[in-house]
Amino acid sequence: MNDSVFLSELSWPEFATRIKAGQPVMLPLGATEQHGHHMAMNVDVVLPTAICERVAQRIGALVAPTLPFGNRSQPRTGGGRSFSGTLNLTAATHAAVVRDIVCELYRHGARRIVLVNGHYENIWSSVEGIELALDTLGRDPNDTLAILRIDHWDMVRPETIARVFPDGYPGIELEHASVIETSMMMALRPDLVDLSAAANDGPARFKPYDRYPAPPQGLPPSGVLSLTEGSTAEKGQWLLDDVVRGIEQAIREEFGLE
């Protein structure tokens, strides 16, 4: 018996059996994007994938393959187009991909679907993808379809944020490649983190508006929008514990799982 939570590691009959049994399906939404000098570009893939794996093991769910490309990075939240290696999808493309995956999962019998987002700019394109899927599938109140969309950082408790940032929280928009992501990566994949390479040239100081096509002034050359100083694996575990617990609780509540 294959007890993997990863959909792609199952045979099709095993997948069909587990979907028929009503197992929820989790879809991690990531990105391939610069994360400073000190981390790999797959941070937004590693984090939601690991979170989904842990939650799936607790509740008996499946994890679909992570979408490794995200809605295009913006200077004030991810550094934008200024850095080598960031691979962007347009919002329309990202929304269409999300729509298609949701519709395909539904076609195979999935009726409880959870999107777990790890890339800030995916927020509205993933919302649009869900709306497009519902436009396609219909919005019959008698249908058992239920979709959750969760940005993993929203599951961190205020008291944990206060522990991680005793001198004040800069806000999630400036936490790109900074303490939260760096600490979580140190807890999950320390082999992909090299704090000695961190430039510590932040924080970013943006104007309260956007200018195109040039990125706004105030973007640190390293691409880290806040600071990496203070990042630890211990803090990363605090954050991960909150996120996994929060997502598990939301799924159990919304889907009526014991």
In this prediction, residue 166 carries a pLDDT of 93
Considering the entire predicted model, what is its pTM? 0.96
Which helix (DSSP H) or strand (DSSP E) does residue 122 occupy? helix 122-137
Give catalytic residues, as residue numbers.
33, 35, 44, 119, 121, 176, 181
- Please return the burial class of 13, using the count of CB atoms within 10 Å of its CB with bins 0-12, 13-18 and 19+: exposed
206 lies in some domain:
yes
Give average pLDDT by consecutive 10-residue segment, the chain, 258 residues. 94 97 98 97 98 98 98 92 94 98 98 98 98 95 93 98 94 92 98 94 87 80 91 98 98 94
Residue 2 belongs to a domain: no
Q: What is the number of domains present in the chain?
A: 1
Q: Count CB-CB contacts under 10 A for residue 60.
A: 13
Query: Per the domain annotation, does 1 fall within a domain?
Result: no
Q: What confidence score (pLDDT) does residue 203 get?
A: 87
Q: What pLDDT is attached to residue 208?
A: 86
Does the residue 64 lie in any domain? yes
What per-residue string of b and e applies to 77-109 under the rule 16 or more CB within 10 Å gives b?
A: bbbbeebeebebbebeebbbbbbebbbebbeee
Contacts 24+ apart (CB under 8 A), 126-131: 126/29, 126/94, 126/95, 126/98, 128/91, 128/95, 128/98, 129/94, 129/95, 129/96, 129/97, 129/98, 129/99, 129/102, 130/98, 130/99, 130/102
Element (H, E) at 151: strand 146-151
Domain extent for 61: 7-255
CATH code of the domain in which 50 resides: 3.40.50.10310
Residue 233: the pLDDT is: 98
pLDDT score of 57: 98
